[in-house]
Every structure is written in C-alpha cells, then in structure tokens.
Amino acid sequence: MERDNILPKEGEAYYFGSILTPKEADYYFERLFKTIDWQQDEVIIFGKRIVTKRKTGWYGEKEFEYTYSKITRKAKIWTPELVALMKLVEKRTGLEFNSCLLNLYHSGEEGMSWHSDAEAELGKDPAIASLSLGAERKFVLKNKASGEKISLELENGSLLLMKGQTQKFWLHSLPKTKKVKEPRINLTFRKIVKTKK
C-alpha cells in the first residue's frame, strides 16, 4: 500500500478515493438504508440530553459494548452487506476490523462536530477505516495543538484510513452545509480490543 500520508505530522491518514463502482456504491447505499436498524442518537451536550437528526447503527462480530458521547450501546451482529464491505476494506488496508459504526446524514443539514475517536475500547493508536456512500461531503482534520486544518472531499464509494497517532493529535469533523441536499451513509470500521466485564 504505497500512498501519501495526507497529514503533515503527528499521525497518518490515507485517502484511497473510490473503491467501489458507482453501481456497487448505489447498491450498498440502498441495502444499508433499508436493512440497518437505524437509531436516533442521543448525545449529552452541556449536560443536556439531545436527540440528533443524524441516525446511527452499531454492528460487530460480537455484542460489543461501546461508549461514545457518554451513551453505551450494545452492537448488533453483522449483516451480509456489512461483512462484504468489511472484507473489501480489510483487503485494501491490510488491517483487521471487528465492528462498525454507521452514520446516516439525511442531507447537508446534518453533520458531525469536532471530535477524535479515542474511546478506551479501541486501545492505543486505533486504525479507523471510513467508507462513504452517497452524497459527497467535506471532511476536515484539525491539529489539536496548532489548529492546522486539512480538508478533503469524501466521494461516493471512497475509503479514508486514519491510523497511528491521528486520534491523539487531530480532531475531525463533517461540517454542515446548505449546498448538499442528498443523503450520505458513512461506515467507520473499527477494532474493539478491550471489552468491559
């Protein structure tokens, strides 16, 4: 895998462009839209419980418990489409994953604010592989110390891999935009290495 690191320092991120044909990307979008058990997410912001418009799904090879935005959820077991997509992503990245967080953004009015995926369950320096389906959206990485920003457009069917110290030193976000009217599904494949209990 010879690819340029899009981060100038303190982490690694690789953009593969589209790894699916437009037809495959459409197929998976439709299938996931219909078959994933989409949940309205609740997040706690300034101590208030808020229901987001964005919907999420949490899947894995086991009923992993995962805590993000202070909410713990139990994974549902893989669907055939998720297994097929994970295999493709594993082949491209040469890495192994065991779980996937899905996000459904109905339009550009929905996004994700600055965060890093540094949950304890993922262990140190986690690799996260992000597959995008549907509307093209801007994705931004921001260095925690310097504020330096790296922006890219995540196209339909594309794969982005974040690894090494990226989560430690960089935040990322999916800015809202009035320009995008179409929906997008994002899948972030992850590897849970620490399980509770």
Where on the chain is the footprint of ligand AKG (CB under 6 A)? 101, 103, 112, 117, 130, 139, 154, 172, 174, 186, 188
C-alpha–C-alpha distance, residues 17 and 173, integer Å: 18
Provide, rounded to whole angstroms, the least separation between the CB of residue 163 and ligand AKG: 14
C-alpha–C-alpha distance, residues 191 and 173, integer Å: 21
Complex with ligand AKG: residue 86 or 174, whichever CB lies closer: 174
Provide, rounded to whole angstroms, the least separation between the CB of residue 23 and ligand AKG: 22
Residue 155 as a binder of Fe ion (CB under 5 A): the answer is: no
84's enclosing H/E stretch is helix 80-93
Cβ within 8 Å of residue 124, ≥6 positions away: none
Burial 47-60 (b: 16+ CB within 10 A, else e): eeeeeeebbbbbbb
Provide, rounded to whole angstroms, the least separation between the CB of residue 21 and Fe ion: 26
C-alpha–C-alpha distance, residues 106 and 5, integer Å: 30
Complex with ligand AKG: residue 159 or 174, whichever CB lies closer: 174
- For 45, phi then psi, to 5°, come to -120, 120
Complex with ligand AKG: residue 2 or 17, whichever CB lies closer: 17
Residues touching Fe ion, count (CB under 5 A): 1
Complex with ligand AKG: residue 95 or 112, whichever CB lies closer: 112
Residue 119 as a binder of Fe ion (CB under 5 A): the answer is: no
| 139 touches, from Fe ion, ligand AKG, none (C-beta below 5 to 8 Å by class) | ligand AKG
